[in-house]
Chain A
Amino acid sequence: MVAVVPALLGLAFLVLPLLGLVIRAPWPTLPERLAEPGVLTALRLSLQTATTATAACLLVGVPLAWVLARTRFPGRQLVRALVTVPMVLPPVVGGVALLLVFGRRGVVGSWLDSTFGVTLPFTTTAVVMAQAFVAMPFLVIAVEGALRGADTRYEEAAATLGAGRWTTFRRVTLPLVAPGVAAGAVLCWARALGEFGATITFAGNFPGRTQTMPVAVYLALETEPEAAIVLSLVLLVVSIAILASLRDKWLTGGSAA
């Protein structure tokens, strides 16, 4: 019972700002503001890039988590620390770092430009890269935690029955940690959807190409706070709807065991 008061305080602290958005929303003009073409464009771009970023993170983040959880090699602690750096790094710094490496003058970027004629900054790809950079640690940490919590005797049993490493990983390990992977993917997606600092620094801002919802909110706030509130509300509703539906379908169902 001692926990109830601080718990309520914590909840109020998290929910009150959202209520503020709802209270200050310009309800009478809401429909026409939602119908503005810029809103849908930014929302579509945000959903597409956050989903692509999450898919990319799954592709490389799950193996990375496996390496961290199941193998021993010198410097593993350092590698884990490096993987989590983007969580504490101010996103703007992450954006600058991405520019310095993948920009036109960057170590990798100048090579891409001279060899393939590809420049990454100010493209939708840059948005996805910025989102993946800040969001992947959330996936890796969640999956690594799940892997550590999983009983390795199942994997050992599979191995003694003749399954190779890949088969064991695919048929035994992955199903075991599926809830953890799902939770990590949801966190990763949510972080990617809200990404602002690295995006505006590395990808810039252009409607339809790199202007995601958070960037649109920031710029709307400059002159039209009411438009910014509307955009924020849309992002809020979409996020809550998707997070809530995913929780029901995957997380609680999958981890009920």
Chain B
Amino acid sequence: MGSSRATGPPAGLVATALVVALAVAGCGGSADADPPEEGVGGTVTIFAAASLTEPFGRLGEDFEAAYPGATVVLNFAGSATLAQQINEGAPVDVFAAADPTSMQLVADGGGTGVSPATFARNQLVIAVGPGNPLGIAGLADLPGLTVALCAEQVPCGRAAQRALAAAGVALTPATLERDVKAALAKVELGEVDAALVYRTDVRASEQVDGVEFPESAEAVNDYPISVLDDAPNPTAAAAFVELVLSEAGQAVLADAGFARPS
């Protein structure tokens, strides 16, 4: 958001003011008197991991409120799918992945360069039915139950394997789901007893409860975000990444249950 911000009031104040202003703007107010940066407009395309659906949805609205000329197009899917689409030439401005491996897929893909920065961390919990009817207390309770994991091809699956290995638990899941939201949905529908998903997914769902377990500390995912070198709209892309890294952006992410990057 450039130099004008840097000389302004303390960041916390700005964040509060921005959040308030955006809330007002959402109600049809007029908080757009001082656009933070010149020349930000047009369509900015964000490819983001499925687990970012809720906070990035909010940040997209906040961004459009802050930059009236800009339109945010969000595409949520498994990080690896998104990386694949970017490598095949999808016109994307910003990529936010659920782990560095997925960002590396783009860097290695040769299609476009990246300059990633870590903007959030997430860790796994056990998603269970409302009220935890089976009394699941940790990973050791899972063998013998109907459990959904993410496939190892996606970040939540890699994290699940790390956590299970750390706990020394051997588990044969009923299904290996294609992304974290699909695994969560199986718990919401009552088709599985439990699933390993991110803390943020449980927070976003009203139909499941989360059980924390110590081994998830072995499976913390760093979320990288990057403006792509081939971004069709680099100015708006940079402004969006700045919003995500700003206090206001971090507040939205914290609200969704994400931890700050260490």
Contacts and interface: CB of A to CB of B under 8 A. Distances in A.
Interface of A: 99-100, 103-105, 119, 121-122, 200, 203-206, 210, 218-223, 225
B189 A225 contact: no
A222 B78 contact: yes
Nearest to A122: B174
Nearest to B175: A204
Contacts, number: 58
Contacts of A103: 189-191
B105 A223 contact: yes
A221 B84 contact: yes
A41 B262 CA distance: 43
B146 A122 contact: yes
Contacts of B173: 206
Nearest to B148: A204
Given A122-B175, A204-B176, A206-B173, A99 B80 contact: no
Q: Sorted from nearest, which 4 A-B pairs have the closest CB atoms?
A: A204-B175, A222-B80, A222-B153, A122-B174
Given A219-B153, A222-B80, A222-B151, A205 B178 contact: yes
Contacts of A205: 151, 175-178
Contacts of A121: 174, 191
B56 to A, nearest CB: 20
Interface in B140-159: 146, 148, 151, 153-154
Contacts of A200: 178
Interface string B123-167: 000000000000000000000001010010110000000000000
- The B contact surface, by secondary structure, is loop
A99 B175 CA distance: 14
Given A204-B176, A206-B173, A206-B176, A219 B151 contact: yes
Contact of B80 (A122, A210, A223): A223
Nearest to B176: A205
A96 to B, nearest CB: 8
8 contacts: A103-B191, A104-B190, A204-B177, A219-B176, A221-B81, A222-B78, A222-B153, A223-B80
A94 to B, nearest CB: 15
Given A220-B153, A221-B81, A223-B80, 10 more contacts: A99-B191, A105-B190, A119-B146, A204-B174, A205-B176, A206-B173, A219-B176, A221-B84, A222-B84, A223-B153
B186 interface: yes
A12 B190 CA distance: 46
A34 to B, nearest CB: 20
A30 B192 CA distance: 37
Contacts of A219: 151, 153, 176, 178
Given A104-B191, A121-B191, A122-B146, A206 B175 contact: yes
A40 to B, nearest CB: 19
Residue with the highest number of chain B CB atoms closer than 10 Å, among A103, A121, A200, A210: A121
Nearest to A211: B176
A221 B175 CA distance: 18
Residue with the highest number of chain A CB atoms closer than 10 Å, among B84, B146, B191, B192: B191
A206 B174 contact: yes
A210 B78 CA distance: 20
A178 to B, nearest CB: 40
A104 B192 CA distance: 9
A220 to B, nearest CB: 8
Contacts of B81: 221-222
A49 B105 CA distance: 34
A218 B105 contact: no
A117 B146 CA distance: 14
Contacts of A223: 80, 105, 153
A119 B146 CA distance: 11
Contacts of B177: 204-205
A200 B105 CA distance: 25
Contacts of B175: 122, 203-206, 210
A153 B177 CA distance: 55
Nearest to B88: A225
A225 B178 CA distance: 15
Interface string B70-109: 0000000010110010010000000000000000010000
